[in-house]
Amino acid sequence: MFDNTQASGEGWVIAECPGSEDGHWQMQRLDGPFETDGDAWLHVVQQAEDGSDYHAEALAFLRRNNPREHAAIRRFVSGGRSPAISDGDSPSL
């Protein structure tokens, strides 16, 4: 399972949300540097694009465990930037 230690230090986590219609695992901001979940999503995607294996693994975890959340992040990020998250099985994004 993904380890939230570094993520929580950066102001975001992958939270377990049992029973949520948005899926069991969700990437969410914590109180701190991000004003919205979308800001946290952009941070994680940017770090992954810059070569961070940790952030790429966070996205891969969501792709495997909550494809709906992964797709929402992909749509959000591609709205203001080039698509950064692939639908393939690559270990990156």
pLDDT at 87 over 70: no
Q: Which helix H or strand E contains 15, and what residues bound it?
A: strand 12-16
Give me the pLDDT at residue 1, please.
74
pTM assigned to the model: 0.84
- Token couple for 64: 């495997």
> What is the per-residue pLDDT across 25-55, written as a single tens digit (0 to 9) for each?
999 999 999 999 999 999 999 999 999 999 9
